Amino acid sequence: MAISILRRSTSNRDKRPANESNGSVAPLEFDLDVDHEDGLPLSLHRMVSVLSDGIAVVDGQGVIRHANDHLVALTGFSSETLNGQPVAFLVPAWDRNASPPSLFDAEISGVLNEAVDLRLELRCRHGHQLEVLAALSPFIFDGESWVVILVRDMRTIRGVEEHRVATELRFRLAFEGNMAPMAVANLEDEITSVNGAFCRMVGYSKEELLGHDAKLFTFPDDVGISEESHRRAVAGETEQARYIKRYVRKDGKVIFVEVSRSAARDTSGELLYFVFSERDITEERTLSAQLTHQSLHDPLTALANRALFMDRLSQALARAARRGGTGAVLLLDLDNFQGVNDTHGHAVGDQLLVAIAHRLEMVARSSDSLARSGDDEFLYLAESLTSPEDDEKVAARLLSVFDQPFVIEGIPFEQRASMGVVVWNATSSDCAEIVQDADVALFEAKRAGKDRYVIFSPEMHERAVNRFELVQELRRALSSNQLSMHYQPIVDLATTRVVGFEALMRWQHPERGSVPPLVFIPLAEQSDLILELGELAIREAVAAASLWARIGDPATWPYVSVNLSARQFHDPNLVSLIEDALFTNDLAPDRLVIEVTESVALANVAETMNIIDYLSRLGVGFALDDFGTGYSSLSYLALMRPRVIKIDQSFVSPALESARNDTLLEAIVTLGQNLGLSVLAEGIETQGQYIRLCCFGCELGQGFLFSPAVSADGAATLVGRVLGT
């Protein structure tokens, strides 16, 4: 037994016998050696059972011979009910007894050689009718024409169509209405579709873009980026790709674009087309470049900052390692620049920094790098030095910009600078160490008197290490009571009676022995330790003076004088510290005198006057130390009206005695007397110096001629005493 199923044809119906091939009919042969119980081939049952649509097998008489489970579910009739029924039972339009000739006969006779699709009303169990799409496919069985009717619910078809339409709508919204530029390209990388956002991005219309590839609007230097991505995608090397390239808009503007390419494939994995989603990142890159520039440049002077300088130094060292050669790093620090900010304000100080940066740029070589590394510090990188003297020439050229005054808002500034210089070569590799060594050399330049440059040597590093270790030991000394206050008597030169004491700090190191103040005080001033030392000095001195105030006649109670550094004197907590120390020890404020050097007091006259005003209201005295060594106007002296001016030791015991020196000494004493100030001479060591000061009318004095500094207990024994000369 054999069965032939005729395939659906798109040609006009062919009336030739089914076993005659005409190009549109291709019968399929099946092995039918096993029959089903209803007489139909078993293979036919298997075929219709796997289909998801309703199936009815109808013989040449129009009788349903088999109905599958899906047709049963669709109509509600059981298979027993349907099998053996004329097809008109389900499709009234196919009534064989109707007159004129039935539609069924007409269709059967017309489908012997070709399948057809019909829209019908299908009868269901509960009396209602269901609109269906029926596909009639003829086949020959035992020499008779039979028909397989495939029935599909129109509701399902409409649902599928609605889903397709909804899917297309979503695609249009996701593609055409997308704010992101999108495009579709075929396998030849030609544009087949673009949305409005893409057209606006490149400035071309949709008609101008379709059929072209990306070369139409690609920046010439970037041609090849898309092509390589396309090649890899077609070769199956990648499904998605992302890259950045430049486009040239139709108006000529160049933009940066981030392109995301995705491959679209069918269910079998066949490559169909490519979808592009793109993003204009021009503003983003511009902002990123601005942020990068800001992160690597000083906002005030627009010079490179320390981070960028270190990167350039690293590259210079790498070049030297490959090619050889030497270079130098120069660290420049402005001398006493804080005084500019304190006196004239930060706005003027900023303008001065900009002017300095401009001058430094004017003398910098094009091959070198200049950076601002701190508030008043600049770094300079010199490459390709040809002789040992070149580094000094560079240093001298940089310092030469300070030869002429800077004029800011009509005010001339005689600004100076100090510099540390480090020479490096092809074997140098540690950038941080080079800059650190430059800082060490800068310290030596400051220590040597400022306004100069010093070239680094290994011995400086050893001294720097010793200084660092000493600072750490000083920090420990504060917590282990190694620091103490000693007191040198201040005498009335007319009677040599003790009237006060100057508090002097001493450090007795357990291993180093006595460490001089000239060694550890400058080290402390480089850190916050100086503030702790200042607090210790004030509290200890006030406590000692409160004990002296209980000895003898109140008329003989001495005052105590405490010398403060610049940072201590300008510390905002100074007044509250003094108030607390006086209150805690019940000491009269007039028994305390605060000393600062002339240079400290006159560096910022306005702030100094504020502090003096606070001290005066408390009743605390103010003394001007090292008088005669500064360069300030004498008018400020009358304005401040200190209780005491202390004549510097260089006038009292000069290296070479001369009539000119005596004249200066006498002039200072006379000036103080005329202003109603007490004049105190420091460093009196000989009888001759004492007599000369008495002749000039100097009121007060101190020095080894009378007594060295002694402990607090030792000072108590000297209260009210007359010291021999």
| pLDDT higher than threshold 50 for residue 532 | yes
295 sits in the region (left: phi over 0; alpha: psi -120 to 50; else beta) called alpha
Which band of pLDDT confidence, cut at 50, 70 and 90, is reported for residue 398?
very high
Closest CA to 360 of 327, 388, 331: 331
Q: Where are the domains of the chain?
A: 3-158, 176-285, 300-456, 483-718
Superfamily covering domain 483-718 = EAL domain (3.20.20.450)
What integer pLDDT is reported at residue 89 of this predicted model?
Answer: 87
Which band of pLDDT confidence, cut at 50, 70 and 90, is reported for residue 386?
confident
What integer pLDDT is reported at residue 6 of this predicted model?
Answer: 34
Question: Which DSSP letter does residue 406 get?
Answer: E
Architecture of the 176-285 domain = 2-Layer Sandwich (3.30)
Which band of pLDDT confidence, cut at 50, 70 and 90, is reported for residue 106?
very low
Contact 335, 416 (CB under 8 A): yes
Structure tokens at 655: 């290296």
* Best-predicted range by mean pLDDT (138-147, 223-232, 622-631): 223-232
| pLDDT higher than threshold 50 for residue 441 | yes
Q: What is the pLDDT of residues 8-41, one digit of tens each?
A: 433 333 433 333 333 343 333 334 444 555 667 6
176-285 matches 3-158 in CATH topology:
yes
Closest CA to 123 of 147, 97, 94: 94
Structure tokens at 508: 């007795």
What integer pLDDT is reported at residue 175 of this predicted model?
Answer: 72
What integer pLDDT is reported at residue 374 of this predicted model?
Answer: 86
What integer pLDDT is reported at residue 519 of this predicted model?
Answer: 84
Q: Picking from 106-110, 337-341, 408-412, 627-631, which range would have the lowest pLDDT averaged per residue?
A: 106-110
Q: Which residue has the tokens 């028994």?
A: 591
Contact 494, 705 (CB under 8 A): no
| pLDDT higher than threshold 50 for residue 60 | yes
Which band of pLDDT confidence, cut at 50, 70 and 90, is reported for residue 169?
low
Q: What are phi and psi of 51, to 5 degrees?
A: -75, 145
What integer pLDDT is reported at residue 423 of this predicted model?
Answer: 93
Q: What percent of the chain has pLDDT over 70?
A: 86
* Best-predicted range by mean pLDDT (83-97, 597-611, 690-704): 690-704
Beta-carbon contacts of 236 under 8 Å, excluding residues fewer than 6 positions away, are: 271
Q: Give the separation between CA 259 and CA 237, rounded to whole angstroms.
A: 18
Higher pLDDT, 49 or 436: 436
No. of helices (H) and no. of strands (E), the chain? 26, 28
Measured N-to-C along each axis, helices 529-548 and 458-479 cross at an angle, to the nearest 10 degrees, of 40
Question: Which DSSP letter does residue 114 get?
Answer: S
Q: What is the pLDDT of residues 115-161, one digit of tens each?
A: 677 788 888 887 788 888 888 888 777 777 788 888 888 777 776 66
What integer pLDDT is reported at residue 459 of this predicted model?
Answer: 84
Q: What is the pLDDT of residues 228-240, one digit of tens each?
A: 888 888 888 888 8
Closest CA to 591 of 614, 566, 560: 560
Question: What are the b/e assignments for 562-591, b being 16+ CB within 10 Å?
Answer: bbbbbbbbbbeebbebbeebbeebebebeb
pTM of this prediction?
A: 0.52
What integer pLDDT is reported at residue 270 of this predicted model?
Answer: 87
Q: Picking from 97-106, 353-362, 524-533, which range would have the lowest pLDDT averaged per residue?
A: 97-106
Closest CA to 545 of 717, 707, 716: 716
Average pLDDT for residues 569-592, to the nearest whole number? 92
Structure tokens at 252: 């000529």
Which band of pLDDT confidence, cut at 50, 70 and 90, is reported for residue 371?
very high
| pLDDT higher than threshold 60 for residue 3 | no
Contact 546, 586 (CB under 8 A): yes
Structure tokens at 299: 């906002």
Closest CA to 439 of 374, 513, 498, 534: 374
- SS in 3 state form for 249-271? CCCCCEEEEEEEEEEEECCCCCE
| pLDDT higher than threshold 60 for residue 185 | yes
Determine whether 442 is exposed, middle or buried from the number of CB atoms within 10 Å of its CB (0-12, 13-18, 19+). Answer: buried
What integer pLDDT is reported at residue 114 of this predicted model?
Answer: 60
What integer pLDDT is reported at residue 339 of this predicted model?
Answer: 78
Residue type, 182: M
Which band of pLDDT confidence, cut at 50, 70 and 90, is reported for residue 653?
confident
Average pLDDT for residues 505-523, to the nearest whole number? 87
Average pLDDT for residues 708-712, to the nearest whole number? 93
Contact 139, 111 (CB under 8 A): no
Q: Is 641 helix (H, G, I), strand (E, B) or coil?
A: coil
Q: How far is CA 541 from CA 535, 548, 576, 651, 713, in A?
A: 10, 11, 16, 28, 12
What integer pLDDT is reported at residue 26 of this predicted model?
Answer: 38
Determine whether 220 is exposed, middle or buried from the number of CB atoms within 10 Å of its CB (0-12, 13-18, 19+). Answer: exposed
Question: Which DSSP letter does residue 273 get?
Answer: E
| pLDDT higher than threshold 70 for residue 108 | no
Q: Residue 316 CB: number of other CB atoms within 10 A?
A: 23
DSSP secondary structure of 512-574: TEEEPHHHHHHHHHTSTHHHHHHHHHHHHHHHHHHHHTTSS-GGGPPEEEEE--HHHHT-TTH
Q: Give the separation between CA 316 and CA 297, rounded to whole angstroms.
A: 19
Q: Give the separation between CA 493 and CA 702, rounded to whole angstroms.
A: 9
What integer pLDDT is reported at residue 338 of this predicted model?
Answer: 81
Structure tokens at 472: 């750490």
Q: Picking from 409-418, 566-575, 657-666, which range would have the lowest pLDDT averaged per residue?
A: 657-666
Q: Give the separation between CA 57 and CA 65, rounded to whole angstroms.
A: 6
Q: Which residue has the tokens 């010439």?
A: 220
Residue type, 299: P
Closest CA to 725 of 668, 694, 686: 686
* Best-predicted range by mean pLDDT (55-64, 67-76, 488-497): 488-497
Question: Which DSSP letter does residue 318 get?
Answer: H
The topology under which CATH files domain 3-158 is: Beta-Lactamase (3.30.450)
Q: Is 705 helix (H, G, I), strand (E, B) or coil?
A: coil
Q: Picking from 43-52, 257-266, 423-432, 576-585, which range would have the lowest pLDDT averaged per residue?
A: 43-52
Mean pLDDT rounded to a whole number for the chain: 83
What integer pLDDT is reported at residue 310 of this predicted model?
Answer: 94
- CATH classification for the domain delimited by 300-456, as one of 3.40.50.1110, 3.40.50.720, 1.10.3720.10, 3.30.70.270: 3.30.70.270
Question: What are the b/e assignments for 351-381, b being 16+ CB within 10 Å?
Answer: bbbebbbeebeeebeeebbbbbbeebbbbbb
- SS in 3 state form for 177-244? CCCCCEEEECCCCCEEEECHHHHHHHCCCHHHHCCCCHHHCECHHHCCHHHHHHHHHHCCCCCEEEEE
Beta-carbon contacts of 73 under 8 Å, excluding residues fewer than 6 positions away, are: 54
Which band of pLDDT confidence, cut at 50, 70 and 90, is reported for residue 363?
very high
- Which own/partner contact pairs does 311-317 have at CB distance under 8 Å and 24+ positions apart? 312/369, 312/381, 313/369, 313/381, 313/431, 313/434, 313/435, 314/431, 316/381, 316/383, 317/424, 317/428, 317/429, 317/431
Which band of pLDDT confidence, cut at 50, 70 and 90, is reported for residue 393?
very high
Q: Give the separation between CA 365 and CA 305, rounded to whole angstroms.
A: 18
Question: What are the b/e assignments for 288-299, b being 16+ CB within 10 Å?
Answer: eeeeeeeeebbe
Contact 561, 507 (CB under 8 A): no
Q: Pseudo-torsion of CA 638, 641, 643, 646, nearest 10°?
A: -40
Contact 678, 644 (CB under 8 A): yes
| pLDDT higher than threshold 70 for residue 103 | no
Structure tokens at 47: 């075929």
Q: Picking from 118-122, 176-180, 594-598, 653-657, which range would have the lowest pLDDT averaged per residue?
A: 653-657
